[in-house]
Structure 1
C-alpha cells in the first residue's frame, strides 16, 4: 500500500510542478518521476528489511541476501534509467519483467503469512493477494504507458 501512496503523491506533485514550470502537462514524465520515487522507496526496504524479504524468495534460489541487495540496487538503477532517453524504453521493459518476476515471491509471502518488515509469519496472508496482484498489474500498465514510444 505504501508504494502506491508514494506513486500517487509524487505523480500529483510532479504533474503540477511541471505545469507551473513549462505551462504544459507532461503525464509520461510525471509518471516516470513517480515510478522512480516509488522504486527508490521500495529499494530502501531491500536494505532495511533484508532478512524478512529474503524469506520471500523460494528455497531453491541460493544467495537470498545477495539477491535482495541486488534487486534493491536494480530498482534504483532502473528508476534512474527512466530519465535517460536512450535507456527509457529498455528500462520500462526490464521493469515490467521485474514486476512479473516479483509476483511469485509475493504469492509465497502471502501463503506463508510473512510480514517481511518484522521477518515473522503473522502477516496478512492470502487476503493480501487480492490487493497485491491488481497492484502488480497497475505497476506494469503504469510503466508501459509512461515509457512506451508513441
Structure 2
C-alpha cells in the first residue's frame, strides 16, 4: 500500500471501526430481539430514556441522519413504544419520549446487556475496558474537530 504512515493508520482505524460497528450491530440485534426491538429501535428509545429529545438532537447524539431517526421515531410511536410531546423551546420540533411499554422493552434487554458488559470487562480487564472507552471517545472528538470545514 502506498501512502504515508498516517494514511495507513487512518485506513486501519476506519476499517477497525467499520468492523466494530458491524459487531456491535450484530450483538445489539441479538440483545434486542427478545424484547421485541431491533438494534435501531433500541438505540433511539435508549437515546430518550433520561430526557425527551427532538429528532434532530437524537440524530446529532447518534451521529446519523435526522431522516433515519425520524423514520424510526415514527415507527416507535406507531408501535406504542414512544410518543411525541410538545417542545417548549420549539413549536414544530416535537420531543420524543419513551412510553411505559418502551421503557419495559428496554428493561428486558438489561440482563443480557449486563452479562455482555461483564464478559467484556473480564476479557479486557477493568482498566483496559475504561481505556478503550476513553480512546474511542477521544478519537470521535478529534475526528469531529479535524473534519469541520
TM-score by length of 2: 0.34
Q: Which has the higher helix share?
A: 1
Larger RCO, structures 1/2 (Cα 8 Å, 6+ apart): 1
Q: Which has the higher strand share?
A: 2
TM-score by length of 1: 0.34
